[in-house]
Amino acid sequence: MSRDLQIRVADPEDLVWIHELRHRVYAQELGQHAPRPDRQLHDALDGDNVYLVAARGPVRMGFVSLTPPWLGRYGLDKYLTRDELPLLSEGGVFEVRILTVEPRWRSTAVAPLLMYAALRWISSRGGRTVVAMGRTELLSMYLTVGLKPFGHTVRSGAVTFEVLTGEVAGLTQLATTRFRTALERFRSVVDWQLDMEWAPGPDGCEHGGASFTAIGADFRTLHRRDEVVAADVLDAWFPPAPGVRAALAEDPAWSARTSPPTGAEGLLSELAEARALPVETLVAGAGSSDLIFRAFGRWLTPESRVLLLDPGYGEYAYVTERVIGCRVDRFRLHRKDGWRIDVARLASVVGAGRYDLVVVVNPNNPTGRHAPAAELRTLIEAAPARTRWWIDEAYLGYVDLAESLAPLAAVDPRVVVCTSLSKMYALSGVRAAYLVAEPATAALLRRWTPPWAVGLPAQLAAVATLRDPAYYRACWLRTHALRRQLAADLAQVDDTVVVEEGVANFLNITLPYDGPSAARLVRECRRHDVYLRDLSPLSPQYEGRTVRVAVRDTAENARIVAAYEAAMETLRPSSLSRRAPGLPVHAAAGYAR
């Protein structure tokens, strides 16, 4: 195959061919549907689903249809009730349908490439589960790529289908291991025109920080740090307190070569005094991720059941699902509710007593919403005794430290509060965090803490940080003013875009259905050395169209606005020109019938 084999989202002209090919295959060739006089075959999802097309120049070779969960309906609804297939009522389920290839191309790699493209599109939109209908005579093909029968057979006309399903993470791992050689070969010959990368990133939780690809992860071009606006990570826009900078600068050679206090004893004492907590309730870590991995690894097993907020910080899903292998459920937050936690609904879900652990990030990243401490206290007090609560307060300083649940965690064995010093205190580079738990729980975690877990520069910086609360209160107050101005400036660029502020050091931009995808906006802004975060992989709740923007200082915020405006001007005409009349772009791109 030559380089001109395109994989792309269908354009308006493609749709005419798609409906004609569907008629030829499913009405005339297979007898699934009755022939129609207009020789066009449509269904109720047309206009809302997404088509991906394989083509070589003007020659169209095949297509596949995708139905995302935010539509609220699936092709399978025609054949099975939700009681028969309850999977369709879960979050993050994408349906892949109508994988169809022109007869002359059926012995080529067109079908596998379309299946892989569907998987990448689903993954890039936060998909967790794939569901499909595969013709029984092609069942071996679907089993080879990792799909599994769900236990239902469906008949439509003269055609019999097997209902198939698979987890996106497992399907992706299989594709990139079993078919790695083939994918590497195709990568060089396919003109990949989709808005996500050809291959997934390294195995691990996806975070921001792509800006380091421009700065240089090998640290040979660090001058680029002054040219790049790193608004894709939530590092503080302000420097650490003067005392922190002085502590790090006083004798950097000594602090680099010297082993720190083994258990960060001085830091824990400073934390106990600053937070008015017993020192025996504290555990230090090299960032919150260190504490998450350490604690969850001790508490949870593949038999454990965990409840996460959705959307929510991706590290929790990665550790519980991918590392430990827990059964994970999602408590969905909704845009129409302002992303706020419905405490009564959450109490009902938790009250059934099924969960070993409930994770609440408060304020939430990435929604930016805060749940009052009084509401959470009431919720926790009424929850079953067997359920542990992990409260992540990484951004609480932007609200009010008095809202912390740390005093509750210090006495209630069901509650643990984790607090990163990275984002609120401008210490992301040195990695320092702590958790609060009742003494027995804290003692167990300290026993499983390696010596020197927090380096000497980090301990020095953290102690100096805690000694200057007034400096940080002023920085947090200034952050709110910068965020409000940034939100106002972004909102003026395009009145069809929704800008949501939240309470922390970031805001979210949600693009209209007939606008570009979040991935395309992020990619275009990078041309201006401005890095934003596409939230699509975190959750299908974002529908592939929400971007997170970290608050920076006045000058960098101005660059963000300028890059965003230039990107929207570039993308707006092309995004509209590729849309069929009456076809929403949220329907613009799935696996079998």
Joined together, the tokens standing for residue 370 give 């805060």
Q: What pLDDT is stored for residue 2 in this prediction?
A: 52
Joined together, the tokens standing for residue 500 give 């949501």
Ranges of the chain whose pLDDT falls below 50? 1, 574-593
Q: What pLDDT is stored for residue 443 in this prediction?
A: 97
Alpha-helix runs per DSSP H in 386-455: 406-409, 439-447
Q: What pLDDT is stored for residue 193 in this prediction?
A: 95
Joined together, the tokens standing for residue 396 give 């609480």
CA atoms within 13 A on the CB side of 357: 28
Query: Which residues, in sequence order, are CB contacts of 6 under 8 Å at separation 6+?
Result: 53, 54, 55, 56, 190, 191, 193
Q: Are strands 282-285 and 433-436 parallel, antiparallel or unpaired?
A: antiparallel
Q: Which of 325, 294, 320 is nearest to 447 (CA)?
A: 294
Peptide bond into 68 cis (omega under 30): no
Cα angle 558, 563, 567 (rounded to 5 degrees) comes to: 150
Q: What pLDDT is stored for residue 204 in this prediction?
A: 67
Average pLDDT across the chain, whole number: 92
Joined together, the tokens standing for residue 197 give 């990368």
Beta bridge partners of 310: 332
* C-alpha to C-alpha distance for 201 and 206, rounded to whole angstroms: 8
Q: What pLDDT is stored for residue 200 in this prediction?
A: 87
Joined together, the tokens standing for residue 307 give 């409840």
